[in-house]
């Protein structure tokens, strides 16, 4: 079930909210959220919900054992990591592993058809976060299974994040602010996400599909860049829109989730980009992988090796295809180059820094988007080398004219303009009235789009 679906907005959400707000007991409220979350997940993954519940119970049990047998904590942590990574490997990477073995050793091993459960990367990382926090002593063992169940299965962030670390939300499970002010702020945040997803991401995705799905032999260099920019906008507004909706929904129920995006396209370096893009994943890898490996505390060579490992894992986390590995290494390479850059020449020219960062990011997203190596090579050759010897053609001009408004709106909302305006006029009555009208308009336009269009994918569901 998609957040940006009519059945979620007009059926599921009201049905959950009515008893949740009528009942004041926090334990009962948590029970309502658990049941709603299990139904939400089973709506699209009826068999996989059993897998998720088993994962939750297993990690809960291992954490309980850690509390009782402190001398076996390292063994229990190792068991938890192996089980969770093994779960991910089986469902997500078995096909890639066996196909690679077949290609390298010229074998003919049968590759099983394994259905990838939606959101497995997200709920597995959250389960690992809980066990690791208990192992480190960052949080006490949670004796209530229901609390761990709610933490991992909470439907707003269950299938596409943000990845919530247990120590960031532990205290909110049984004590949180449930108020009209928070409900109102959550609804506004949800509407912003719905607008970004439905009206920007979907239309950018249609532009990308029309360009990348066409005949590449007739694609101009400008057209290739337009397609790459469209996909970069699609994936940003798709995922940040989902995160906005998730954070808004969590706020409706009284939870405060950490931000997942902070206008990454205004970054002036790749390192800054990763402080602004998919923040929950970046901080998860930093906290549970980069720092335990030694971070930047053991000299330059070790730092570069740690960065390569983290970005390799970041690429692999996104999917079972070599293009994701290349994408991770692409960002890792530039993160290291920025540390080595003699004199940091680009820092003297902020606009050049910004152009460089966007170019690296946009090229990287082409690598991210195209899984077929031959198609990827051909697309990049047109985009970077003008291999078709067409800088601009009629097809590019037509696509640009048809999508000019969407592209302008997308660029404007890629920058924190709304935040600046809101902070400046937030106490102004006229602004408050105008904002209310704007949110109503965004809701009406989004619903009208959902009614009239069948194109409504979520890119990060496959991860």
What is the average pLDDT across 67-76? 92
Residue 430 pLDDT level (bands cut at 50, 70, 90)? confident
> Which candidate in 115, 318, 331, 389 is catalytic?
318
48-70 pLDDT, tens digit per residue, is 899 999 999 999 999 999 999 98
Q: What is the mean pLDDT of residues 371-378?
A: 94
pLDDT at 182: 93
Total Cβ atoms within 10 A of residue 184? 12
The three-state secondary structure class of 309 is helix
38 close to 229: Cβ distance less than 8 angstroms? no
Indicate if the pLDDT at residue 346 is higher than 70: no
- Quick one: which of 48, 77, 40, 49 has its CA closest to 62? 77
* 2 or 154, greater pLDDT: 154
The torsion defined by the Cα of 292, 293, 297 and 299, in degrees rounded to 10, comes to 180
Question: How many CA atoms within 13 Å lie on the side-chain side of 2?
Answer: 20
Phi-psi region of 2 (alpha: psi -120 to 50; beta: other; left: phi over 0): beta
Judged against a pLDDT cut of 60, whether residue 342 lies above it is answered with no
Provide the token pair at 297. Answer: 């505390």
Which tokens sit at 7? 């059945």
Distance, CA of 31 to CA of 44 (rounded, Å): 21
Report DSSP letters for 365-391, one per residue.
HHHHH---HHHHHHHHHHHHH-TTS-S
Q: Is the peptide bond before 162 cis (omega within 30 degrees of 0)?
A: yes
User: Roughly how many angstroms between the first and final C-alpha of the chain, as a whole number?
Assistant: 16
pLDDT digits (tens, 9 = 90+) for 120-169: 999 999 999 999 999 999 999 999 999 999 999 999 998 887 999 999 99
Q: Give 241-274 pLDDT, tens digit per residue.
A: 999 999 999 999 999 999 999 999 999 999 999 9
Residue among 44, 20, 30, 24 nearest 461 (CA) = 44
Per-residue confidence (pLDDT) for residue 432, from 0 to 100: 82
pLDDT at 234 over 80: yes
| Per-chain mean pLDDT for the chain | 91
Based on the residue annotation, tell me whether 354 is a catalytic residue of this protein. Answer: no
**pLDDT at res. 162:** 92
The length of the chain, given as a count of residues: 463
| Best CA proximity match to 322, nearest among 382, 378, 376 | 376
Cite the DSSP H helix spans in 215-299.
Answer: 221-252, 270-276, 279-285
Is the pLDDT assigned to residue 45 strictly greater than 80?
Answer: no
SS3 445: helix
Q: Environment class of residue 31 by beta-carbon count within 10 Å: exposed (0-12), middle (13-18) or buried (19+)?
A: middle
**Could you tell me the pTM of the whole model?**
0.92
Closest CA to 215 of 389, 373, 377, 378: 378
In angstroms, the CA 386 to CA 380 distance is 9
Closest by Cα among 31, 34, 64, 61 to 49: 34
Q: Once rounded to an integer, what is the mean pLDDT over residues 348-352?
A: 77
What does the alpha-carbon distance between residue 267 and residue 416 come to, in Å, rounded to a whole number? 12
Q: Where are the domains of the chain?
A: 6-175, 182-462
């Amino acid at each position: 079930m998609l957040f940006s679906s009519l059945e979620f907005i007009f059926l599921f959400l009201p049905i959950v909210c009515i008893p949740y707000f009528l009942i004041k007991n926090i334990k009962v409220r948590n029970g309502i959220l658990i049941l709603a979350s299990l139904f939400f997940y089973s709506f699209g993954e009826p068999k996989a919900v059993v897998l998720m519940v088993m994962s939750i119970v297993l990690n809960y049990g291992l954490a309980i054992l850690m509390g009782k047998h402190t001398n076996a904590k390292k063994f229990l942590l190792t068991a938890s990591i192996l089980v969770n990574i093994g779960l991910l490997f089986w469902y997500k990477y078995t096909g890639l592993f066996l196909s690679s073995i077949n290609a390298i050793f010229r074998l003919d091993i049968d590759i099983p058809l394994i259905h990838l459960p939606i959101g497995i990367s997200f709920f597995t990382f959250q389960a690992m976060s809980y066990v690791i926090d208990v192992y480190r002593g960052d949080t006490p063992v949670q004796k209530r299974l229901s609390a761990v169940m709610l933490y991992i299965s909470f439907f707003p962030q269950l299938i596409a994040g943000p990845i919530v670390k247990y120590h960031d939300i532990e205290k909110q499970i049984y004590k949180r602010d449930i108020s009209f002010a928070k409900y109102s702020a959550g609804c506004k945040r949800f509407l912003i996400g719905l607008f970004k997803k439905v009206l920007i991401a979907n239309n950018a995705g249609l532009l990308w599909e029309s360009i990348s799905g066409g005949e590449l032999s007739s694609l101009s260099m400008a057209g290739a860049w337009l397609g790459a920019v469209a996909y970069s906008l699609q994936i940003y507004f798709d995922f940040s829109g989902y995160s906005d909706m998730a954070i808004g929904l969590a706020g409706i129920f009284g939870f405060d989730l950490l931000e997942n995006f902070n206008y990454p396209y205004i970054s002036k370096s790749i390192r800054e980009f990763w402080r602004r893009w998919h923040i929950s994943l970046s901080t998860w890898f930093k906290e549970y992988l980069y720092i335990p490996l030694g971070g930047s505390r053991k000299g330059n060579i070790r730092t570069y090796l740690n960065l390569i490992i983290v970005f390799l894992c970041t690429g692999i986390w996104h999917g079972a295809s070599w293009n994701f590995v290349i994408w991770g290494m692409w960002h890792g390479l530039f993160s290291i180059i920025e540390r080595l850059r003699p004199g940091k020449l680009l820092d003297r020219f902020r606009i050049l820094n910004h152009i460089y960062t966007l170019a690296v990011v946009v090229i990287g997203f082409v690598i991210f988007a195209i899984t077929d190596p031959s198609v990827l090579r051909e697309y990049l050759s047109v985009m970077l080398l003008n291999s078709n010897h067409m800088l601009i053609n009629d097809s590019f001009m037509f696509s640009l004219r048809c999508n000019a408004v969407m592209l302008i709106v997308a660029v404007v909302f890629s920058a924190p303009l709304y935040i600046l305006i809101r902070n400046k006029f937030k106490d102004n009555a006229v602004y408050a009235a105008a904002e209310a009208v704007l949110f109503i308009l965004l809701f009406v336009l989004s619903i009208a789009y959902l009614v009239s269009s069948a194109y409504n994918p979520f890119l990060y569901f496959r991860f």
